[in-house]
Structure formats: structure tokens, C-alpha cells
Amino acid sequence: MQKNNKNAAFCLSLWSAAVVTLPCAAEQPDEPVSPVVVTATRVEQRSFDLPVAIDSIDQAQIQETGKPEVNISEQLNRVPGTVVQNRDSYAQEQQIIIRGFGARSQFGTRGIKLLADGIPASTPDGQGGPGLFDLSSAKRIEVLRGPFSALYGNHSGGVVQIFTEDGPPDPTLTGSLLGGSWGTWKGGLKFGGTSGNLNYIGSASRFETDGYREHSAARKDQLNGKLNIDFDNGARATLVLNYLNQPDNEDPLGLTATQVRENRRQAVQAAKDFNTGRSLDNLHGGLVYELPINAENSLRMLGYIGERNNLGYLATPIPTQRQVTQSGGISDLDRKYGGVGARWTNRGALLDAPYLLSIGAEYDLADEARKGFLNLNGVRGNLKRDEANSVDSWGAYVQGEWQTTERLGFNAGLRYTRVRFDSDDHFVCAVSPTSALCPASGLTTPLGGVNPDDSGSVTYSAWTPAAGVLYKLTPALNVYANAGRSFETPTFIELAYRLNGSGLNFALKPSKSNQYEIGAKAYLGSDTRLGVALFKIDTRNEIVVESNSGGRATYQNADTKRTGVELSIESRLPHGVAAYAAITYLDAKFDESFLTCPQPAPSSGPPCPSGSKVIVREGNAVPGVPTFTAYGELSWAYTPWGFNTGVEVRWQGKTYVNDINSESAGAFTVVNLRAGLEQRTARLRIAEYVRVDNVFDEKYIGGVIVNDGNGRYYAPAPTATLFVGASVSYAF
């Protein structure tokens, strides 16, 4: 859908204002204050001293800006190089895109490694669910981009890791309540404290909404807990537990451009006819044990286990569902998963220069029972699919840092990853002397067994190196360069179907990306931080959509290339004023021509009839990836009154929605306002806030469904939305 490109001056003016008001760099600090991060090197280090692009979002930004603390899009859209597609449907987990990777995902996040307190929130095949992240108890979120993220294994784009806060010194109970537009409310309780060598925190919440669009009501129950035990020998054990329940969440599906113009709040008729939506239940727990062996050596061990149940109702036409090689219109998944890991860290000196060395290994496993049933207008019908699938991944890595001089440092790492897929097909047509019976579809077919045994297995493996160098030009200015190779396998969902025939798509290859980056990090005075990164990524065999019709997507490989620039600036100005801005330019294009099935697909017959493919030309934009994004924030706090306020501006450029670039979602500018009050005594804290998102009622597309076979590419975002909330904390 092409939309008039509105003037982005309002968005960019906020960034310009921040630059103009920056203090001069006349007095450079000897030790600039910088966020401490662990994702880049797996040990705590200042982000300023690392030759990588990494950003950290702190607890105040997550929990004290009047946001509902429900969706990861509330936070990550402020990070340069990062976009979160929000379809405003809780039946579809949010889609994180980093440097253009992850845009093709039909649901959830893929191509990005997700971690919660060190425990994977991504399966070994690369599919992730950011809905597991509990923002109400988050201490910080780290976003690592570029070559060094390859040392985390199977993905191309980057790493997003969330860390749960520790409990406060005194036992403290916090209650919160939020209400807002579209029948939205959220209630939460959080309790934490310290008792001797125990530190604990627990958070529970319920979120409900009627939804901005028809057929988009949702409920989300979440529980997150962490327990730290400190031992006399300096060791620490951390136990984490996370539970997520989303029952009967409705999905309005995407709209065509015409439907958006007619009524952007509508749900398509198919969503109502088939009662599209999802029920999700996920429980996992893990244990991390950290042991300092001596002053130079330490050991970290991890184990986790979990179970995920997912029931989805799809809008697949019934005649299509009844075809003997189709899997129906209801997907029923029961997945059990777990993993272990160990890492040894050594600090020492080489040629009188300090070094840091980490050697580790990881093993992750997911076993799933996947079934499909006919969706007879919202009623479960006969069995259409029955598989036992498993995917496991093991990897070993070495990563080190060597500070050769006071100004010059080197970082390097190497990882080996192996991913194996196994599928055991239990849904095979029985053969008799006269016919092949497929009882699930209720059809009798000629002799020959039209639904064969599609069992199979495939293994992918790769070495992924990364290396970087950082040079300290001054105590307040560092420049760096890095390079590396990433490796990304298909997910089970992407392997599940072939365009013609049945069985796993073994022709699909893993993608490999050569990534290059140069950048600089600087401080102007003690209160202003700058960051810039320029990157180039060449990808062979990126996994792209071949066909997306009839309730299933098939995939193929094509080469792509990406070049981009990321810029961020953050400043603490006088009189309680703070400014932040992030701007990204990303040119993501196909690097070869290839054939794809047309979108929209033919209204009848097979999804891609012989001879109907169309050409995607070299140089076309990768769909789902905006070329320009910008975020700005200006805030003010007046401590004597306990008052704070802020304005947030987000601008996003045009986004193509299919490979042939025949349609696009238009550029948009969204402005959010917030204000809050806080009252404190020695043990009591009360906070009230009001927030209005999309103040100027911008009618924009919040997410796109790439290459949708029905042309329903667009998920409209809500117009002006009001939230009012309060929280009360008491320390006993």
C-alpha cells in the first residue's frame, strides 16, 4: 500500500535539537561512564571498550516511562539497526528485525538469538518467542549486532538478551494497575528482597485487551522469578522460572490495501469463519552455577528444561485442507526442550599484556509432537498431520581479548555449530489391494498411497569466526573495526513443505553471511555519548519465500547484500533535561534474480501452477525492511515535585511488502507523550502516570506480512491510544 511520504522534519528536529544543545568537549573525562554489558564477550565489560555495536536499555527506561510493559516493541524500536514489526495481534508473537534479518518470519522472531537470563528463548533451529520476556521485572535489555553475534550460533542478525532485576535489600511488595483504550488493562504484583545469602524476586501479571481491530481480543498471564544463592566460597547459584499463558487469543489476519482504505479496524471474513487465533502455554526453568576457581579462573555451568504447547486456528480454505498432502487448518504442537552449557574463563598476561579467554560448549534439544486437523469453520475435524520432530544443536567456541597496549586491543572468536533435524511421519495413507484410504480427509483415492511416508533427516554445520580491533584515540574516543561470518539454518517450519509434493524440503540450504563493520564511540564531556557504525553484509543462500498460499509457506534460497549506517546520541543536559536519538539507514537488496510464485496467488487451483512464476530482479529491495528509521526522545524531570515528562518520536520510511516490490507500506511519523508524578517516604513509593501513544492519530501500518499469498500484507496499527496507570511499593 503506497502512502504519502509525510515530512519527517518533526522527527529529525528532535535529534537536531539534541545535537545543537550538546556540551562542548573541552573537558574530556579520564574514564567515561559507559553501560556494562555481557552479551558481547560473555563477561561484564563496558560497552565503550568493545569493538562491536551493542546497546543496553536500562531498568529506568523499561519500567519508568509509563509503558504497558507487555511487548518488546515498546523498547527495541529505540535501538539503532533494530525494528520490531507489531501486527497488534497477540496470536502472533512480535517480529524482531536486526539489520534486515528476520523480516521474512511469518510469525514470531527468527534469525535473531533470544536469551532470558542466559537461557535460550529460541529453539535450536532458530525460531524465537519474545513474548517470554517479562518486562515488569527486567533490569536491562542488551542488543548485540554484527559479526560477533555469530559466536552465539544459529542465526544471522544479532542477539537480544534480557536480564531480570535482583531483589532489593529489604523485602518489598509492589502492586501496579493500568487501564487504557480498546478495553485494555493490566494488573501486576512484584515481590523481592534479600535474606542472608538469598536474594529473590518474583513478578506476576495479567494483561487483557479487546484489541484495536475486530477479532483481536487477547489475554496474557505471566510469571517470572529469580533466586540467587551466594556461597561462602564465592560461588553463586541462580535459579530462574518463567511461565507464560495466552489462552484463546484472536487473530484478525492481515488486510489488503483496499480493505485498509475501507475500514482499517476490520477483520477479514475468513478470520471470523475459521475463528483464527492461538492458545499458547510455555513453562521453563533453569539453573546457572558460577564458581570462581581462583583469581585467574572461573567456571560457569547452565542447565534448563521447558515445555511449550501451541494450538493455532488458521484460515485455510476447506477444499485446500482436504487435499491429501495438506496438513489441515488447525496446528497442535507439544514441544519439550532443554539444554546444558559450560564455560571456563581465564584472565592472565601474554607478553606482559593482559588477556581474557573464554572456552565453552553448549547443547540444546527440542522434541515436538506436531499434529494437524481440519478446521471446519472453527470446529476441529479429522487428523491431517501427525509427526514426531526433533532438532538438536551443539556448539563449541573460544573467544578472547588481548589488550596489547594501553590504546590497542584485539578481540577474536571461533565457533563450530552443528544442527540436526529429524522427522518421523506417522500420517501415511493405508494401502489396500484396490485403493489407498486416507481416513483423515474422508476421501478414498486410487491405488498408490497418495500421502507417503515423509520421514527424513538433515544435518547442517559450519565454522563461524569473528575478529575485531579497537584503538583508543583519546580517553573519550574509540574507533574499531570487525569482521566475521554468520550461519543460519532453516527452521522446522521453513523445512516443513515443498512447493510440489510432500515431505521436508531438503533442497533448502543454510545461509552464510560475511559481515564487516567499522565504527566509533565517543564522549563529549561526561554526559554525552555518541556511537556510529557502518556495516556491509553479503549473504549467500539467504532463505526467502517461494510461495505463501493455502495456509502454508514454502522457501528457497537467494543471495542478498546489505549496507548501512547506524547513529546514536544520548545526552544528560542541565536542569533535568535528557535527549536521545537513533537513526538508521539500511539498503537491503537481492543480489541475484530468481523466480517466485506470484502474490497474490491464483484464486483457484494449485498455489503455483506450472509456468506462473514471476521474476524477482536483482536489485529489488528485501521486503519487510525499511530503508530509513529514526527514533528521538526528549525528557525532563523536576525532582522537587517528583514530576517527569517526555516526548518520543518514531519515524519509519517506506517498506516493501513482497519480493517483486509491487506494493509497499507508506512512511509514517508517530509521536508519544507521557507524564508522571512520584511520592516517596522512607519505605513507601507511589507513582502515577498518563501516556498517550500516537498523539496525532497517525494512520499507519504497524507490521507487514511479507509475500502473503492473498495480498493481505498489512496489519494496521492503533490510532491515538491512552494509558493511565499507578503503582505502589512498600519496603517492609
Q: What is the dihedral of CA 294, 298, 299, 302, to 10 degrees?
A: 130
Integer Rg of the chain from CA: 26
Distance CA 57, CA 143 (A): 8
- pLDDT number for residue 88: 84
Is the bond preceding residue 600 a cis peptide, omega within 30 degrees? yes
- pLDDT number for residue 597: 84
Q: Which of 105-114, 313-322, 440-449 has the lowest mean pLDDT?
A: 440-449
* Neighbour order of strands in the sheet with 119-120: 53-58, 138-145, 158-164, 112-116, 119-120
Q: What is the dihedral of CA 688, 690, 693, 694, to 10 degrees?
A: -160
Q: Does CATH number 3.40.50.720 belong to domain 36-511+519-527+534-731?
A: no
Instruction: Identify any residues that bridge with 565 across adjacent strands, giving them in sequence order.
Output: 534, 585
Question: In terms of Cα–Cα distance, which of 157, 114, 23 is closest to 543?
Answer: 157
Average pLDDT over residues 227-248: 96
Distance CA 401, CA 308 (A): 38
- pLDDT number for residue 586: 97
Distance CA 186, CA 725 (A): 9
Grid cell locating 425 = 511421519
Distance CA 521, CA 505 (A): 44
Q: Which helix (H) or strand (E) holds 25?
A: none
Sign of CA dihedral 260, 275, 223, 142: negative
Distance CA 318, CA 323 (A): 9
Grid cell locating 529 = 555519548
Q: Which helix (H) or strand (E) holds 197?
A: none
Average pLDDT over residues 718-732: 96
Domain ranges for the chain, please list them: 36-511+519-527+534-731
Average pLDDT over residues 699-728: 94
Sign of CA dihedral 166, 571, 533, 624: positive
pLDDT tens digits for 610-656?
677 899 999 999 999 999 999 999 999 999 999 999 999 999 999 99
- pLDDT number for residue 323: 76
Distance CA 39, CA 730 (A): 33
- H runs (alpha helix) in 411-527: 492-495
CB 165 within 8 A of CB 137: yes
Distance CA 278, CA 551 (A): 15
- pLDDT number for residue 29: 44
Share of the chain above pLDDT 70, in %: 90
Q: What length does the chain have?
A: 732
For the cut 50, the answer to whether the pLDDT of residue 234 exceeds it is yes
Classified as helix, coil or strand, 598 is coil
The amino acid present at 404, given as its one-letter code, is T
Distance CA 662, CA 75 (A): 31
- pLDDT number for residue 27: 40
Distance CA 532, CA 536 (A): 14
Instruction: Identify any residues that bridge with 730 across adjacent strands, giving them in sequence order.
Output: 173, 684
CB 44 within 8 A of CB 465: no
Grid cell locating 534 = 557502518
Place of cell 501513544: 693
The torsion angles phi and psi of 266, rounded to 5 degrees, stand at -75, 160
Q: Is the pTM of this model over 0.85?
A: yes
Instruction: Identify any residues that bridge with 529 across adjacent strands, giving them in sequence order.
Output: 523, 570
CB 552 within 8 A of CB 107: no
Say how far residue 653 (Cα) sits from the centre of its chain.
20
pLDDT tens digits for 650-694?
999 999 999 999 999 999 999 999 999 999 999 999 999 999 999
- pLDDT number for residue 629: 97
Distance CA 717, CA 699 (A): 7
CB 562 within 8 A of CB 156: no
Grid cell locating 716 = 494496521
The torsion angles phi and psi of 171, rounded to 5 degrees, stand at -55, 125
Distance CA 434, CA 447 (A): 6
DSSP string covering 252-312: ---B-HHHHHH-TT---HHHHHTT-EEEEEEEEEEEEEEEE-SSSEEEEEEEEEEEEEEEE
pLDDT tens digits for 50-89?
999 999 999 999 998 889 999 999 999 999 999 998 888 8
Query: Half-sphere exposure of 175 toward its Cβ, with a 13 Å CA cutoff?
Result: 1
Farthest CA pair distance, the chain: 91
Q: Which helix (H) or strand (E) holds 235?
A: none
Grid cell locating 621 = 529491495
pLDDT interval class at 603 (50, 70, 90): low
* Residue 522 burial (CB count, 10 A): 20
